[in-house]
């Protein structure tokens, strides 16, 4: 059962999935809409990645049960950033644009599933209650709560 510790991150995941669905539904002719939504997606992901890499991953990287998953998560963030940069540089009406967006979605869905089903539950087992509460407070403060 998931505690409130990672609720803000899960909420971010839901928002990102929604933006991706909107992007996939945009017609080829809606280049400006694609550009705007991609910018929104990129901003959301930059903030989210920063929070995870600054507030969550460091305490998990040093623990054996979460070490490998954490290293993989860092790399998945890197791949997402590369795909976002490539999407920005492509013509928004190019047929490859939507194909690359689909690859981004698949990567993000894999990453989200791994975090929510493996990393976060393991974090709740390897971190103390105080550590989890500190992370929750820091995430809340960083998100303006």
| Residue 3 reports pLDDT greater than 80 | no
Burial of 114 (0-12, 13-18, 19+ CB in 10 A): middle
Least confident of 61-70, 77-86, 117-126, 136-145: 136-145
Give the pLDDT score at 2.
Answer: 54
What is the C-alpha R_g of the chain? 16
Domains and CATH numbers, the chain: 4-142 (1.20.120.520)
Give the pLDDT score at 1.
Answer: 42
pLDDT band at residue 88 using 50, 70 and 90 as cut-offs: very high
- DSSP, residue by residue, 17-67: HHHHHHHHHS-TT-HHHHHHHHHHHHHHHHHHHHHIIIIIHHHHHTSHHHH
Q: Which of 70, 17, 11 is nearest to 41 (CA)?
A: 17
Please state, rounded to an integer, the average pLDDT across all residues of the chain: 95
Summarize pLDDT for 5-18 with one digit per residue, the tens.
999 999 999 999 99
């Amino acid at each position: 059962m998931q505690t409130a510790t990672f609720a803000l991150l899960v909420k971010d995941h839901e928002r990102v999935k929604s933006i991706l669905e909107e992007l996939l539904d945009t017609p080829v002719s809606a280049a400006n809409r694609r550009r705007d939504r991609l910018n929104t997606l990129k901003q959301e992901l930059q903030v989210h990645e920063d929070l995870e890499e600054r507030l969550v991953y460091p305490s998990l990287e040093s623990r054996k049960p979460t070490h490998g998953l954490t290293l993989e998560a860092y790399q998945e963030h890197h791949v997402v950033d590369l795909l976002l940069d490539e999407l920005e540089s492509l013509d928004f009406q190019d047929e490859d644009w939507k194909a690359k967006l689909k690859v981004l979605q698949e990567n993000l869905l894999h990453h989200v599933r791994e975090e929510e089903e493996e990393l976060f539950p393991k974090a709740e087992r390897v971190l103390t209650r105080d550590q989890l509460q500190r992370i929750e407070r820091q995430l809340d403060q960083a998100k303006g709560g």
